[in-house]
């Protein structure tokens, strides 16, 4: 082969390879979108890496586990006894065989083992615990009270309750703990805006408020790497925003945004991507946690239509009731419909 022939062949191969490696072009699994029927309508799902199951709440306050949640021929739904569950669930990082279920009416948090969905204990996590999160690096459970006025930390090893922080989240507020780090760190967000809390080395709890961001937050998700970062949608629902603490760790500032074609209902994230679930599709963005967004624009990777593949009938128009991010797929539940739909993650 002559040098000229080799050079031309190399250029063609390089171009072909570049096309194949374009972010978002290929998928982690197949099919791109699939739906399965489950025993009962579900809400606020999370993914269990221990069991490979989708774990969610039912409309009557039970816990459900869906095995083979992306296989219509093998899907199995398992249900607990009634638990009088609150707004969400949190899988323990200290023991991933256990899921925590808030029980605001009982003033406790139930500990349920995932294999048999049996309650194995309960925890005192402050007044009327309604919404849960976790400071993953420290294995500390966070419980937001039903009125949104306190966040109570509980050490998962030993179940020692730490001093609570007074917050102003309101009844619709959410607490979102940091995914790494060795300090108590979290965001509290809701209709009144975002507040960012981080403990000092001298005092772990209650943490200090380090910053705030003025927005009527309707959906949000933390970042797997940048602990002060939060992705959010405001009441307009047509834009994905990214905020994080300014240099020095004080205050919150917007660092990027991206338009979305239809209203954002739920947000989720993993180590490299952000997922915005709308009424018709899942729009996937690159998180760029280390490099940031040089032009303040969040790169969009792919838009995946999940509605078109749903069975005809009420499921086609049912609103979303939750989203969970798994290792290869993103799972969506539908309000009032016994259906779980999932879409494949695009590769970077």
pLDDT band at 180 (very low <50, low <70, confident <90, very high): confident
Tens of pLDDT, residues 143-155: 999 999 999 999 9
Strands 165-166 and 174-177, sheet pairing: unpaired
Say whether pLDDT at 285 is over 50: yes
- In a domain? residue 5: no
- In a domain? residue 305: yes
Q: What is the DSSP letter of 184?
A: -
The mean pLDDT value of the chain amounts to 91
Task: Look at residue 106 and give its three-state secondary structure.
Answer: coil
- In a domain? residue 102: yes
Contacts for 207 with CB less than 8 Å, ≥ 6 apart: 165, 183, 184, 185, 186, 197, 198, 199, 200
Structural domain including 328 reads 33-344
pLDDT for 1: 42
| Residue 246 neighbours by CB distance under 10 Å | 14
φ, ψ for residue 266 (rounded to 5)?
-140, 150
Of 198, 263, 271, give the one whose Cα is nearest residue 233: 263
- In a domain? residue 16: no
Of 99, 72, 116, give the one whose Cα is nearest residue 339: 72
* CA 205 – CA 196 distance, rounded (Å): 14
- In a domain? residue 28: no
Look up residue 160 and give its two tokens. 């020692």
Tens of pLDDT, residues 15-41: 344 444 455 566 666 689 999 999 999
Contacts for 330 with CB less than 8 Å, ≥ 6 apart: 268, 275, 277, 282, 323, 324, 342, 343, 345
Tens of pLDDT, residues 43-68: 999 999 999 999 999 999 999 999 99
More confident residue, 262 or 7: 262
Number of independent structural domains in the chain: 1
pLDDT band at 9 (very low <50, low <70, confident <90, very high): very low
Tens of pLDDT, residues 181-228: 889 999 999 999 999 999 987 678 999 999 999 999 999 999 988 899
Of 213, 209, 200, give the one whose Cα is nearest residue 165: 209
- The residues that bridge with 36 in the sheet, in sequence order, are 340
Q: What is the CATH number of the domain that holds 58?
A: 2.130.10.10
- In a domain? residue 23: no
Tens of pLDDT, residues 120-163: 999 999 999 999 999 999 999 999 999 999 999 999 999 999 99
Mean pLDDT for the stretch of residues 79-102: 98
- In a domain? residue 323: yes
- In a domain? residue 309: yes
The model's pTM is: 0.90
CB 164 within 8 A of CB 149: no
**106-114: long-range contacts, CB 8 A cutoff, minimum separation 24:** 109/141, 109/143, 109/154, 110/83, 112/63, 112/80, 112/83, 114/48, 114/50, 114/51, 114/53, 114/55, 114/65
């Amino acid at each position: 082969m002559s040098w000229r022939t080799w050079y031309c062949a190399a250029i063609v191969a390089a171009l072909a390879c570049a096309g194949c490696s374009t972010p978002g072009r290929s998928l982690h699994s197949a099919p791109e979108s699939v739906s399965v029927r489950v025993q009962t309508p579900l809400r606020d799902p999370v993914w269990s890496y221990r069991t490979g199951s989708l774990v969610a709440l039912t409309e009557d306050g039970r816990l459900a586990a869906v095995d083979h949640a992306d296989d219509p021929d093998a899907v199995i739904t398992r249900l607990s006894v009634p638990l009088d569950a609150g707004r969400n669930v949190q899988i323990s990082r200290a023991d991933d065989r256990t899921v925590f279920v808030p029980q605001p009416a009982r003033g406790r948090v139930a500990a349920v083992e995932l294999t048999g969905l049996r309650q194995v204990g309960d925890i005192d996590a402050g007044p009327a615990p309604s919404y849960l999160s976790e400071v993953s690096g420290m294995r500390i459970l966070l419980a937001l009270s039903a009125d949104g006025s306190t966040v109570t930390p509980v050490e998962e090893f030993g179940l020692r309750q730490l001093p609570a922080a007074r917050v102003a989240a309101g009844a619709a507020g959410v607490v979102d703990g940091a995914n790494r780090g060795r300090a108590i760190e979290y965001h509290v967000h809701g209709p009144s805006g975002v507040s960012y809390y981080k403990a000092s080395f001298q005092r772990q709890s209650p943490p200090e408020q380090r910053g705030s961001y003025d927005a009527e937050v309707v959906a949000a998700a933390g970042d797997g790497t940048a602990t002060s970062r939060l992705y959010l949608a405001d009441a307009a629902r047509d834009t994905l925003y990214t905020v994080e603490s300014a240099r020095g760790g004080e205050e919150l500032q917007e660092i990027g945004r991206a338009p979305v074609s239809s209203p954002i209902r739920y947000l989720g994230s993993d180590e490299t991507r952000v997922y915005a679930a709308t009424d018709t599709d899942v729009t996937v963005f690159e998180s760029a946690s280390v490099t940031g967004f040089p032009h303040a624009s969040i790169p969009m990777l792919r838009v995946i239509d999940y509605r078109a593949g749903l069975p005809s009938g009420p499921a086609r128009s049912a609103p979303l009731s939750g989203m969970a991010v798994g290792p290869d797929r993103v799972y969506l539940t539908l309000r009032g419909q016994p259906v779980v739909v999932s879409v494949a993650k695009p590769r970077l």
